[in-house]
Amino acid sequence: MDKLLIRGGNRLSGTLPISGAKNAALTLIPCALLTEEAVTLRNLPRLADIDGFQHLMTQFGVSHTIPGKRPEDFGRNVTLEAMRITSSVAPYDLVRKMRASILVLGPLLARTGEATVSLPGGCAIGNRPIDLHLKALEAFGAQIEMAAGYVKAMAPDGGLPGGEFDFPVVSVGATENALMAAVLANGTSRLINAAREPEIVDLCNLLTAMGAEIEGIGTSELTIHGVRKLNGATYKVMPDRIEAGSYACAAAITGGEVRLEGAEAGDMGSTIHALRNIGVEIDTDKKGITVSAETGKLKAHNLTTAPFPGLATDMQAQLMSLLCKAEGTSVLKETIFENRFMHVPELTRMGANIETEGRTAIVRGPVELTGAEVMATDLRASMSLVIAGLAGKGETTVRRLYHLDRGYERLEEKLQLVGADIERVGDD
């Protein structure tokens, strides 16, 4: 199994390209199930989760082609075509490693009238039930059964009639599943207290390009007028705001200056606000953002995660690493997941001064971080260890890279572009 070796202390400087968004891509791919025509996604990141989802799509009879394979490039274009759905079953072996697999439930139900999907897996960052996915589909007229670890959804003869669902709490995944189910419903559907994340806007924009009729895009109330069929489309995946925020933290913790080419500042408001309050300079333009910071001039800041437009839970671990080098005491509150401080013991091994109580972490800084052997526990926690390692004295070894490979396209190559001393090596 591979591991990362990081020799800390280098100031990052230069230009680093931002890939297509993983969280958006995993929502756009199942849209191909909604039409007989080809859907081409541009700027699709090369990630383990993307490969896994494409493999799942072949289970349903979806073909995919990758024109002009160029492994030296970041991202790629993929054409998906579901001319005929050959199966509506998503088996356990294909679903267990990736929570996003549940997003085939809505489009399969809409297109074929039935779907049988194994309960999903993913990062062990807390309890993430799918009850809101199922309740939304039931509100649209689906019949739901659960047995032996599988969800079976059935639409009435003639298809889903549509309906209205008011989310008791904001749920990104349930909003996405409900949207994809509603676009082919016979009537009009409404989603109230829907999630507003940029990735959902990206999904709505693709569905609209395919012929869907959606009102309220970007707001918490979505109205979907069902259509008889959708057409194919060519669509570019939005830039990854979490990847951009992660590399911004990496640049800042080293006192560097890095241009994040392709980053979309409009999607990163809460992250940019947090970084500026910590003492990081951010310059934005239409083609990206530039991040710079001075060593010794970072300051403590209190943070609380929240649904968009609040601070993304996916940025909490990376900002925590950065705050280890900030002057003063910072308090971080995690409101989304109950088990998202698993990186704290590993950061402590590197010299961090962090205390946790429930969903609150107290970070005291600045401290001198030192290299250590650390273990990745989930996707974003993994990146927090890389960020700490870049600023640490000596060598840091990060193991369990399969977490990183799920969400960061060729991470070590991108960091090498801006001067990091980092390499991937085989385990002894």
* Structural domain boundaries, residue 41: 22-236
Q: Of 236, 268, 290, which residue is a domain's last?
A: 236
Q: Of 236, 264, 284, which residue is a domain's last?
A: 236
Residues 218 and 324 in one domain: no
Residues 108 and 8 in one domain: no
| Residue-level pLDDT at 125 | 33
> Which of 46, 40, 42 is CA-nearest to residue 410?
46
Which residue reads 């990062």 in tokens?
123
**How many C-beta neighbours within 10 Å does residue 22 have?**
26
Going by pLDDT thresholds of 50, 70 and 90, the confidence category of residue 129 is: confident
The pTM of the full predicted model, rounded to 2 decimals, is 0.94
Residues 11 and 157 in one domain: no
Ligand-binding annotation for 84, yes or no, is no
Residues 333 and 267 in one domain: yes
Torsion of CA 162, 167, 170, 176, to 10 degrees: -10
Domain count, the chain: 2
Ligand-binding annotation for 166, yes or no, is no
Residues 257 and 289 in one domain: yes
| Residue-level pLDDT at 379 | 83
**Could you report the per-residue pLDDT of 171-227, keeping only the tens digit for each?**
999 999 999 999 999 999 999 999 999 999 999 999 999 999 999 999 999 999 999
- What does the pLDDT average to over 143-157? 91
* Residue with more model confidence, 156 or 428: 156
Ligand-binding annotation for 131, yes or no, is yes
What's the CATH number where 320 sits?
Answer: 3.65.10.10
Torsion of CA 38, 44, 47, 50, to 10 degrees: -30
How many angstroms separate the Cα of 347 from the Cα of each of 8, 230, 264, 343? 14, 48, 29, 6
Residues 196 and 297 in one domain: no
Going by pLDDT thresholds of 50, 70 and 90, the confidence category of residue 428 is: low
Residues 249 and 192 in one domain: no
Give backbone dihedrals phi and psi of 258, rounded to 5 degrees, phi first: -130, 135
| Residue-level pLDDT at 121 | 54
Residues 253 and 270 in one domain: yes
| Residue-level pLDDT at 71 | 55
Residue 8 one-letter amino acid: G
Residues 124 and 28 in one domain: yes
Residues 268 and 171 in one domain: no
pLDDT surpasses 50 at 126: no
Mean predicted lDDT score pLDDT of the chain: 93
Q: Of 236, 257, 292, which residue is a domain's last?
A: 236
Residues 196 and 263 in one domain: no
- CA 62-92-200 angle, to 5 degrees, is 60
Ligand-binding annotation for 22, yes or no, is yes
- What does the pLDDT average to over 156-183? 96
What percentage of the chain carries pLDDT values higher than 70?
Answer: 96
Show the DSSP H helices in 219-365 as ranges: 241-253, 269-278, 316-323, 344-349
To the query of whether residue 123 is one of the catalytic residues in this protein, the response is yes
Ligand-binding annotation for 410, yes or no, is no
Kind of pairing, strands 328-333 and 288-292?
unpaired
The SS3 call for residue 246 is helix
| Residue-level pLDDT at 355 | 97
Among the listed residues 31, 123, 204, 324, the single catalytic one is: 123
- What does the pLDDT average to over 274-296? 97
